[in-house]
Amino acid sequence: MTKKKKLTIAGIVVLAVALCVGIHQYSVYQKKVKAYDAAAQLFEAGNYEKAKEAFKPIQTFRDSENLMYISDVFNEVEQGNYENAAKYTVDIKEYSSPNEELQKSIEEGRANFYSEAQSFASQGNYKNASNVYQCLGDYEDSVQSAIYCDGMQNEVDGNLQEAITLFDQVPDYKDASSQKELCTTYLEATELQAKGDDASLEQAAGLFTQLGNFQDSADRALQCKSVALFKQAKTLADAKKYKQAYKILNEYPSNPYEGWTELLAECDNQITYREAKDLYNSGHFYKASLIFDGLNDFRDSKDMVKKCKRTLPSKNILYHNPDYESSSVKLTIKNPGSRHTFIKLYTSKDKLVARIFIKKGNSASINLTSGTYHINRAYGDDWYGEKDMFGSMGSYLRCLVEGSYDFTLNSGYIYTMGQGSEGSAVSGESVGSDAF
């Protein structure tokens, strides 16, 4: 065989090998194209989880790696794993594809997630909003929105210095500059409050009041005001000017300032005790006893309750109008019942003639001038003096003689009022103690 023939055969072999390699490479390429198209269809259908898995085996083909990362991020957002989604965005080179249909699907996905992020932000869920915005690259104002929402979330969490730093990055976005001012003012006010002197607290109270409902500004404003108000109220209370102290403290009855509620209660009790003592000193022993009883263990209230129950009078005639003293008529009133009785005797023109107290089972006599009279009669057990009589447990009656409120006593006669079948019928009409 000649040398020329050998070279021809070798060339044919090389050509055949090259052809086989080419055919194989083309076959591999076609498989990748087919796999890419299938993955693209999954992505376009919004099936991001399967699209991610479909792009993974062909990562080196075209823009499959980038599309795999986009699919991964979009899937995490769709599943509600917003924090993970935001972390995975670092792998995305760009939110684009030379494939027109894929590019359209990417933009549609970003538009949908942008709306979701806006919804979170409007609900005050700034953390989720920020994470979703971070997944959208440079779509619309997503970059600024993510920073703003991070600032708002830090503001909500009380990390105001961090919030200020973030708002500084987007000073012209929405109300970032106003939010920064609120945070700055709040921090300034808290520093003044921490100093604790009267001047600083007054300044702090003004700033917190200016901030309105920002953070806990309203509570802090009250705390700062409370120091001065408490001192003022304490000074008044120490001077026994309890009503003035109470007025200051009761403007904020639930104030958590230390000692506030205790001093308020003390002033309230002192005022109430004084009212009870005034009633006691004016002879309204029953009314006083009710108030003392409500004060429980305050001061000597329990002892005062006992003192309000008066000793039963040692004599029957407590008062007798001298204009109606005479021996021409004698009136005897019997009290055979189980309760004590207190009687007020009036003329027909309502002029008080006598006040008479008769213990249970006893009687009393009084000498009178002849004339027309009427009687109010009370019954009870515990005696609270002539003004409050037997208190709310007593019975109070207007006596009716033969159905009439007035009855006549003639000169030279002896009259007896009591139980029995003889004489004029006596009954009683119930009245209140105030009408007694």
| Residues forming beta bridges with residue 379, ordered by sequence position | 341, 395
Could you list the pLDDT tens digit for every one of the 436 residues in the chain?
A: 555 666 566 566 556 555 555 565 777 799 999 999 999 999 999 999 999 999 999 999 999 999 999 999 999 999 999 999 999 999 999 999 999 999 999 999 999 999 999 999 999 999 999 999 999 999 999 999 999 999 999 999 999 999 999 999 999 999 999 999 999 999 999 999 999 898 999 999 999 999 999 999 999 998 999 998 999 999 999 999 999 999 999 998 888 889 999 999 999 999 999 999 999 999 999 999 999 999 999 999 999 999 999 999 999 999 999 999 998 999 999 999 899 999 999 999 999 999 999 999 999 999 999 999 999 999 999 999 999 999 999 999 999 998 899 999 999 999 998 765 455 667 888 888 877 7
Return the SS3 of 356: strand
- Closest by CA to 319, choosing from 364, 279, 357, 265, is 357
Q: What counts of helices (H) and strands (E) characterise the chain?
A: 16, 10
- Give 6's contacts (C-beta < 8 A, 6+ positions apart): none
Q: Which CATH architecture has domain 317-435?
A: Sandwich (2.60)
- What are the domain boundaries of the chain? 35-174, 317-435
Please tell me the distance from the alpha carbon of residue 188 to that of residue 185, in angstroms, as a whole number: 5
Both tokens of 11, joined, read 């060339």
How many other C-beta atoms lie within 10 A of the C-beta of residue 204? 25
Characterise 401 by phi-psi region: left (phi > 0), alpha (psi -120 to 50), beta (else).
beta
Kindly write down the DSSP assignment for every residue of 217-245, as one continuous string: HHHHHHHHHHHHHHHHHHHHHHTT-HHHH
Residue position matching structure tokens 């023109």:
349
- Give 417's contacts (C-beta < 8 A, 6+ positions apart): 331, 332, 333, 334, 375, 399, 426
What value does the CA radius of gyration of the chain take, rounded to a whole number of Å?
Answer: 50
- Give 356's contacts (C-beta < 8 A, 6+ positions apart): 316, 317, 318, 333, 342, 343, 344, 345, 364, 366
- Give 124's contacts (C-beta < 8 A, 6+ positions apart): 156
Using CA atoms, how far residue 136 sits from 61, 145, 354, in Å, is 24, 11, 100
